[in-house]
Amino acid sequence: MEKVTNNAYKAHCLVLSYPTQGHLNPMLEFSKRLEHKGVKVTLVTTRSMSKTIHKEASSIALETISDGFDEGGIAHAESIQAYLERFWQVGSQTLAELLEKLSSSSSGNPVDCIVYDAFLPWALDVAKKFGLVGAVFFTQSCAVDNIYYHVHKGLLKLPLSEPEILLPGLPPLQPQDMPSLIYDLNTYPAFFDMLVSQFSNVDKADWVLCNTLYELEPEVVDWMTEIWPLRTIGPTIPSMYLDKRIEDDKDYGFCIFEPNSDTCMKWLNDHAKGSVIYVSFGSLAALNAEQMEELAWGLRMSNSYFLWVVRASEEAKLPKNFVEETSEKGLVVHWCPQLEVLTHEAVGCFVTHCGWNSTLEALSFGVPMVAVPQWTDQPTNAKYIMDVWKMGLKAPADENGLVKREAIENCIKEIMEGERGKEIVKNAYRWKTLAKEAVDQGGSSDKNIEEFVTKLVHS
């Protein structure tokens, strides 16, 4: 597509993200898809978040609003509850001020629509006050969204009392397959309230966008589409890894941590195809010291080569001398370019916490997974990885929730060497093909984004 000049944009979308890496990345990628189809996009995050990200060159404009904690964000609030309440008050006000500023600017591109993170439902009220189209963007799977919706409507009674949970569009789930905030009530009440409140005003949204692909969870998408104008628009992964239609789109463009790119890629280049286990638990998950030790031993006992991302804040939990003693087999780094690593031919398996972004990336690149879920939506994602998509194994936990070294070793060996591993690799390749097709021209997600843009232009 031809690059559009400033005043030739079809419409102008303001895209508002919740201030974490895992929310900013998918919303930025969706923004690039919109821009590719001729829509002007202004990406909005908080002032505190904008100070911590390394921004690559991007044609997408970045603006900020306040969460009430401009110096340090949520870390400076006395509680999660206090942060979210303050963000609602100050965020609504500063978002309205930003809209006024953009509408009075001389660019000739007034805002037509707010695409807002489902974690920030108050943004829809601001959009409606300004007479704008409001599109809610869910950054988790439709399966998980469906569970929270049923809790919000009082259709799923808590605490869970049945051994099996049956919800429309979902496979039968055991309590431990549910998002942790539902299975373990009262662990993080403020987060629980936020996740359930995503649906507080969703019926007033003009669009419901979900970062998934239709082929991945068709039954639940069909069920939810009967209630809302829901469209799947994922996977939101840089185009050069999938359909290659957006030429300069090689990475997400924002990063909180500096990756050890050269070290990782040189190390991987020295290893045979499919011989390396990649281990990463994302930008937020923190394992306790006992779990870290079991994971370390499991990797060692598997006798495989491994590349393990251990954030600097987590390093002290590693067993003493582990890095030195395993240096012939493993490389431990603070951060790495995950997209490049997962697409490297040396990687044969991904030990993951099953955050939705990591899950979609592995699925889109056809990398089998060992699922070690930690909290929120991750147990549900792990259930789907193993039993629905059949492209990985969930490492079983003991009665205390600890995944023992033998469980990790067995899952790795099964995928890398076992009979089940061959079937998993075959399924993984199938999902890789479907993910690419969904975002390519005429694919399910591409058609949905096209429809969104067309209706935006004519609204």
Per the residue annotation, which of 117, 206, 249, 377 is the catalytic one? 117
CA distance 233 to 27: 11
Structure tokens at 23: 């929310």
Decide if 117 is catalytic: yes
Q: Please, which residues bridge with residue 276 across strands?
A: 305, 347
What is the DSSP code (8-state) at residue 315? G
CA distance 294 to 278: 16
CA distance 66 to 88: 10
Decide if 271 is catalytic: no
What is the DSSP code (8-state) at residue 81? H
Query: Whose structure tokens read 């006798």?
Result: 303
What is the DSSP code (8-state) at residue 385? I
Question: What sign has the CA pseudo-torsion 96, 93, 203, 213?
Answer: positive
SS3 40: strand
Look up residue 459 and give its amino acid: S
CA distance 69 to 47: 8
Helices assigned H by DSSP within 37-179: 47-50, 80-103, 122-129, 142-152
- Helices 419-439 and 356-365: crossing angle, nearest 10°? 100
CA distance 240 to 261: 18
Question: What sign has the CA pseudo-torsion 423, 351, 417, 398?
Answer: negative
What is each CA distance from 180 to 55, 176, 381, in whole angstroms? 33, 7, 11
Helix (H) or strand (E) holding 242: none
Helices assigned H by DSSP within 235-337: 261-269, 289-302, 322-325
CA distance 186 to 183: 9
Structure tokens at 174: 């055991």
Query: Whose structure tokens read 């409001």?
Result: 134
Q: Which residues are catalytic?
A: 23, 117
